[in-house]
């Protein structure tokens, strides 16, 4: 049980980091097209990681 909990947390963190990385690579114009500003990237990534 404990191992599966840790693995789930690690996977969520990896999803978070991947989302931050991919969104950070977008230009301001591309982010604007998505309705996202650069300062929102980390909060959006956190939401994605736990979903």
CB-neighbour burial class of residue 50 (10 A; exposed 0-12, middle 13-18, buried 19+): exposed
| Tokens describing residue 42 | 């980390």
Q: 1-51, pLDDT tens digit by residue?
A: 999 999 999 999 999 999 999 999 999 999 999 999 999 999 999 999 987
> Which pLDDT score is estimated for 27?
97
Q: How many domains does the chain have?
A: 1
The whole-number pLDDT of residue 45 equals: 96
Please give the model's pTM, rounded to 2 decimal places. 0.86
CA–CA distance from 42 to each of 2, 3, 6, 29, 48 (Å)? 27, 27, 22, 18, 10
pLDDT of residue 22: 97
Q: What is residue 51's predicted lDDT score, i.e. its pLDDT?
A: 75
CA 1, 5, 50 angle in degrees (round to 5)? 145
Structural domain span for residue 30: 2-50
């Amino acid at each position: 049980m404990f191992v599966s909990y840790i693995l789930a947390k690690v996977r969520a963190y990896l999803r978070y980091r991947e989302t931050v990385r991919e969104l950070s690579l977008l230009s301001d114009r591309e982010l604007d097209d998505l309705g996202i500003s650069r300062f929102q990237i980390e909060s959006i990534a956190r939401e994605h990681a736990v979903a």
